[in-house]
Amino acid sequence: MRQDLPKRLLGRTGARVSILAFGAGSRFLQYDEEKGYQALNHALDLGINYVDTAYAYGNGTSEQRVGRVMKTRRKEVFLATKVLDRDAEKAMRSIEGSLQRLGTDHVDLLHVHGLEDASDLAAIESPRGVLRLLYKLRDQKVARAIGITSHSDPAVLARALDRHDFDCTQMALNGALAGMASGGPRSQGEMSFQTVALPAARRKAIGVIAMKVFAQGQLVGAAAPEMLLRYSLSLPVATAVAGMPTPEQIEANVEVARNFKPLSSTEMDDFSEHLSAGYKAALDHFFRHHTDA
C-alpha cells in the first residue's frame, strides 16, 4: 500500500512533490534491468512521487527504464527529464526521443542539463540556443515547467536565474559545499550554491531541487547519511534528489523523509563547518569537472 511522504510546493509550478525524489542516474543504472524496475516501483509504493531522469543517464537507458514503469504509473508521478544539447534543433530531436522512451506526450519539468560556465550560458541564450525552444515547449504544454541544473558554477547559475524565466532549478546542495573552509572572507573559490544561487532562486519564487546531497557518494562515511539528507532538506528546497542503488537505501532515505525534522541553524552551521573544512576544496574541484551522466 502506498504511504504518504511529506510534500512541499515546487515554487510557482503549483505542484506538490515528495520531499525525497528518486534519482534515476548512475546509481539507478547500477541495478540490472529487472531489479531497476522493481526498485523504482518500490520507491513509488513508499510514497515518492518525483522521478528525475535524463537522456545523458546511460544514453537513454534511464529514460527507457523509467518509461516502462510510467506505462502504468504516469499519473502518480511528477516526471522530470533534461536536455544536454545547446543547439535548439539538436535539442528538439533529443527531446522527441526522450518523450518516446518515457512513453508520454509531456513531462512535468524539462531542464537544461548541466550549466557549466559563462560561455555555456551564452550558448544556451544564443538566438539558436535551447532556451528559446524550452519557452516554446512550455507554451505548447510539452513541458509543464522548465528549469536549469548546475553543479559547476554557482555565480553563473545565479546569473541565469536572474536573467531568465525559469520555473525550477536543480543545484548541488550539501553540508560540505556550504561552508567556508578557510573561515575567512568569502573568496571566489569559497562561493557555494547555497550562498549564491539559492538566494537568486528564492527572489523569483523558483522551485529548488537539491542534488548531490551525498556528493556522488564521496561523503558516505564522512557523515551519517541521515544527517546529510536532513541538512539538504532543512534548506528552502522543495525536494532532494537522491540516487539509491539498493532497496535498503531507498527504505532508509524514505524513513528519514517520513520522519523529517529540520536541523536548527546552529546544527546546520556546526555540521557544514565540520564537513567543509575537510571536503569543500576537493568537492569544488570535483564538481567543476564532473559529468552528470
**In the structure, what pLDDT confidence band is assigned to residue 2 with cuts at 50, 70 and 90?**
low
The pLDDT assigned to 182 comes to 37
The pLDDT assigned to 180 comes to 43
What beta strand segments (E) does 239-283 contain? Answer: 239-243
Q: What is the mean pLDDT of residues 247-272?
A: 96
CB 121 within 8 A of CB 160: yes
The pLDDT assigned to 190 comes to 57
Q: What is the mean pLDDT of residues 75-79?
A: 97
With 0.85 as the threshold, say if the pTM is over it. Answer: yes
Distance CA 105, CA 252 (A): 33
Q: Which residue has the higher pLDDT, 39 or 213?
A: 39
As to burial, measured by CB atoms within 10 angstroms (0-12 exposed, 13-18 middle, 19+ buried), residue 71 is exposed
For residue 143, list its beta bridge partners: 107
Q: Which residue has the higher pLDDT, 118 or 287?
A: 118
Distance CA 101, CA 219 (A): 33
Q: Single out the catalytic residue among 57, 135, 231, 279.
A: 57
Mean pLDDT of the chain: 92
Q: Which residue has the higher pLDDT, 189 or 88?
A: 88
Q: What percentage of the chain reaches a pLDDT higher than 70?
A: 94
The pLDDT assigned to 281 comes to 77
Q: How many residues does the chain have?
A: 293
What tens digit of pLDDT does each residue of 171-202 get? Answer: 999 988 875 443 333 444 458 999 999 999 99
Angle between helices 118-125 and 130-139 (to 10 degrees): 50
**In the structure, what pLDDT confidence band is assigned to residue 232 with cuts at 50, 70 and 90?**
very high
Determine which of 35-49, 207-221, 240-254 has the lowest per-residue pLDDT on average.
207-221
CA 17, 21, 25, 29 dihedral sign is negative
Whether 12 has a pLDDT exceeding 50, the answer reads yes
Q: What is the mean pLDDT of residues 198-223?
A: 90
| 57 tagged catalytic | yes
Q: What is the mean pLDDT of residues 199-211?
A: 97
What tens digit of pLDDT does each residue of 45-66 get? Answer: 999 999 999 999 999 999 999 9
CA 154, 235, 53, 166 dihedral sign is negative
Q: How many of the other CB atoms lie within 10 Å of CB of 196?
A: 18
CB 53 within 8 A of CB 29: no
Amino acid identity, residue 110?
A: L
What tens digit of pLDDT does each residue of 152-166 get? Answer: 899 999 999 999 999
What tens digit of pLDDT does each residue of 107-155 get? Answer: 999 999 999 999 999 999 999 999 999 999 999 999 999 999 999 899 9
The pLDDT assigned to 186 comes to 44
CB 64 within 8 A of CB 29: no
3-state secondary structure of 202: helix
